[in-house]
Amino acid sequence: MSRIPESDYVQLNDGLTLHYQEAGMGDAVLFIHGSGPGASGYSNFKGNYPVFAEAGYRAIVPDLPGYGLSDKPDTEYTLDFFVDAMLGLLGKLSISKVTLVGNSLGGAIAIKMALDHPELVEKLILMAPGGLMPKEQYYQQMEGIQKMGAAFAAGELVEPANMKRLLGLQLFDESQITDDIVNERVAIVLEQPACVLSTMQVSVLTDRLSELQCPILGFWGMNDKFCPVSGVQTMMERCSNIRFNMLSECGHWVMVEHAKLFNRECVDFLKD
């Protein structure tokens, strides 16, 4: 079974060990992945971070705690828990300024980091970020969230066929879900404790969005089944210095489904 490639590890001050990929030299860009079962930084961003590195940036792609090859403690997976882990990673890597790239849960983590540590975050790149409505509303409104939670809780995602069906909900074009992607995720799911998703709590950040001070570039697929596209209007109304790309024939993974456009727009944004 395919596994994500093993790269570098760092132990944080609280004893938590994180795994991460790194490529390139220059200004730092931290890629923060989403919360899907079996997710990892590499799985989410393997078609993106090498392009950033080639463009002259230091691309850092961690596995969040509970995901990838990072530690998976039996604890509560709150937004602050993830934020503290990312801050700890940046500290260990001696990074004092960074651009954050986050999708879904990773977008919520990036927003919270920028709100709480504006001196650290130079720019934000967000793809269908979470944290814009209560958890219950996501489950009530979004087919992908409903099916993901039920399949993980039932232990169905250890079977590649079931994982492939779930991942197909992430994209408009399901044919882009390769066997390698499926197998990478199944290998991680086999090691994930139930608490990774069952205890996850993401604060609603909407009322604080006006506090964001850095430039923001956003992406959202019109066919997203996990985070409602109404989030675009929420962010555009409340944030300054922001622009969004809304894509037709696109699901939750803009950076996968439209990688060339995503990479080009992001590199141009970083160079502005």
Report the run of H or E that residue 220 belongs to, with start and end: strand 216-221
Residue 117 annotated to the active site: no
Tell me the CA distances in angstroms from 55 to 42, 69, 120, 191, 205, one per residue in order: 19, 27, 22, 35, 32
Please identify which of the residues 19, 33, 117, 252 carries the catalytic annotation: 252
- Any idea what the Cα angle at residue 261 is, between residues 257 and 264, rounded to 5°? 135
Give the closest residue to 235 by CA, choosing from 254, 253, 217.
217
- What DSSP element (H or E) covers 49? helix 49-54
Tokens 């939750």 belong to 252
Strand 121-127 versus strand 216-221 pairing type:
parallel
Residue type for position 72: K
C-alpha closest to that of 177 among 252, 247, 245: 252
**Which residues form the catalytic set?**
252
